[in-house]
């Protein structure tokens, strides 16, 4: 196990507090910036390759020669007897939406942090980074028994609602870990909701360990990919990756969901094969969507992996 001095600020690796997610603001500022072409005509602090922004209604005025007839407001025209046209302004703040997986499978950790805690740190860091660049941040937090939708909001409102929501769901999952219900379809339903609420031009980050993603998720994500950008983070653990140094002979207690087991060397190799297969299945699913998957290790602090957060 790691020492307390290696834990992130305010963290114990198991529970989750608002203080440690507020502290993620510092590492959000340290995320390396992607080198991109400067475009003075674009709003915001950075150029971004996106599929298009929405147009927000501004006002109605009398129709003038040269106006696009497709913008005529027929209701106002019929009511007043004179042609009126709608005016729009470009939506300047890009919506960024996190699909944060808080399934029971993430409540696992062999060295530094529970995978659920690392997922929360990642979500908060991406949230802070979004508002620092003038974007709006929202989230869909999903677990077997709980679901929380947070509409994209800007500045402090957006990040504070995200932090509060993450802590609430994480605490509920810990409290219900042994008695909570298991629903193997909760993430496919979350993907369906995500496809409905994400506006065109949004950037969507998937944060998960991949264990509960199944083929039913692929359809909604395919629809989502047509008008949004998607990125994926796979939260891993050294024990589930096979990167942890273990003695030749051992008895290793592990918990998978509601099942507790003690593994010897041979049983561990079989268990490890299953874990790797789950992860690879998720990566293959993302490959079908042409979405790059980045692996985040719960055995290391996020500050040691900031290069992977380069957008």
What beta strand segments (E) does the chain contain? 55-62, 84-90, 95-101, 136-142, 147-153, 203-208, 229-236, 252-256, 259-263, 293-297
Among 64, 86, 88, residue whose Cα is nearest residue 76: 86
Whether residue 149 is found in the same domain as residue 273: yes
Q: 120: domain range?
A: 7-32+93-309
Whether residue 67 is found in the same domain as residue 100: no
Q: Give the integer Cα–Cα distance in Å for 125 and 127.
A: 5
- Residues 282 and 208 sit within 8 Å (Cβ to Cβ): yes
Q: Is residue 42 domain-resident?
A: no
The number of CA neighbours under 13 Å toward the Cβ of 12 is 5
Whether residue 184 is found in the same domain as residue 267: yes
Among 206, 227, 202, 226, residue whose Cα is nearest residue 48: 202
Whether residue 142 is found in the same domain as residue 187: yes
Whether residue 64 is found in the same domain as residue 142: no
Q: Is residue 128 domain-resident?
A: yes
pLDDT less than 50: residues of the chain: 1, 4, 36-54
Structural domains of the chain, count: 2
Q: Give the integer Cα–Cα distance in Å for 54 and 67.
A: 19
Q: Is residue 38 domain-resident?
A: no
Whether residue 183 is found in the same domain as residue 59: no
Domain end residue (candidates: 74, 90, 106): 90
Burial of 18 (0-12, 13-18, 19+ CB in 10 A): middle
Helix (H, G, I), strand (E, B) or coil at 269: helix
Q: Give the integer Cα–Cα distance in Å for 300 and 111.
A: 8
Q: Is residue 49 domain-resident?
A: no
Using the CB atoms, write b or e for 26-48: b if 16+ within 10 Å: ebbeebeeeeeeeeeeeeeeeeb
Q: Is residue 43 domain-resident?
A: no
Burial of 24 (0-12, 13-18, 19+ CB in 10 A): buried
Domain end residue (candidates: 90, 117, 139): 90
Whether residue 65 is found in the same domain as residue 111: no
What CATH number has the domain bearing residue 123? 3.40.50.410
For 287, the token pair is 């490959």
Q: Is residue 145 domain-resident?
A: yes
Q: Which residue has the tokens 């490890």?
A: 272
Whether residue 82 is found in the same domain as residue 107: no
Q: Is residue 104 domain-resident?
A: yes
Measure the N-to-C terminal CA separation of the chain; round to a whole number of Å.
31
Whether residue 63 is found in the same domain as residue 145: no
Domain end residue (candidates: 90, 111, 137): 90
Q: Is residue 39 domain-resident?
A: no
Q: Which pLDDT does position 53 carry in this prediction?
A: 43
Whether residue 166 is found in the same domain as residue 244: yes
Whether residue 181 is found in the same domain as residue 112: yes
What beta strand segments (E) does 171-257 contain? 203-208, 229-236, 252-256
Residues in the chain: 311
Whether residue 73 is found in the same domain as residue 197: no
């Amino acid at each position: 196990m790691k020492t307390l001095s290696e834990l992130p600020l305010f963290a114990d690796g198991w529970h989750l507090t608002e203080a440690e997610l507020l502290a993620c603001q510092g590492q959000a500022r340290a995320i390396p910036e992607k080198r991109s072409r400067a475009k003075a005509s674009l709003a915001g602090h950075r150029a971004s390759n996106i599929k298009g922004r929405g147009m927000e209604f501004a006002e109605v005025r009398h129709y003038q020669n040269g106006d696009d007839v497709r913008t005529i407001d027929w209701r106002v025209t019929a009511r007043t007897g004179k042609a009126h046209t709608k005016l729009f302004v470009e939506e300047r703040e890009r919506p960024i939406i996190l699909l944060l997986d808080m399934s029971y499978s993430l409540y696992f950790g062999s060295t530094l942090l529970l995978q659920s805690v690392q997922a929360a740190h990642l979500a908060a860091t991406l949230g802070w980074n979004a508002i620092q660049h003038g974007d709006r941040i929202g989230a869909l937090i999903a677990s077997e028994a709980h679901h929380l939708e947070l509409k994209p909001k800007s500045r402090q409102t957006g990040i504070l609602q995200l932090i509060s929501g993450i802590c609430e769901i994480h605490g509920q999952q810990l409290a219900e870990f042994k008695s909570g219900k298991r629903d193997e379809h909760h993430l496919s339903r979350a993907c369906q909701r995500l496809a409905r609420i994400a506006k065109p031009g949004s950037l969507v980050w998937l944060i998960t360990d991949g264990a509960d993603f199944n083929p039913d998720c692929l359809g909604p994500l395919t629809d989502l990919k047509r008008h949004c950008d998607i990125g994926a983070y796979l939260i891993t653990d050294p024990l589930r990756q096979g990167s942890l140094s273990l003695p030749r002979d051992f008895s290793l207690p592990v918990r998978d969901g509601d099942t507790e087991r003690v593994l010897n060397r041979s049983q561990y190799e079989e268990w490890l094969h299953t874990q790797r297969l789950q992860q690879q299945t998720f990566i293959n699913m993302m490959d079908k969507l042409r979405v790059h998957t980045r692996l985040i290790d719960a055995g290391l602090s996020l500050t040691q992996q900031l290069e992977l957060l380069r957008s």
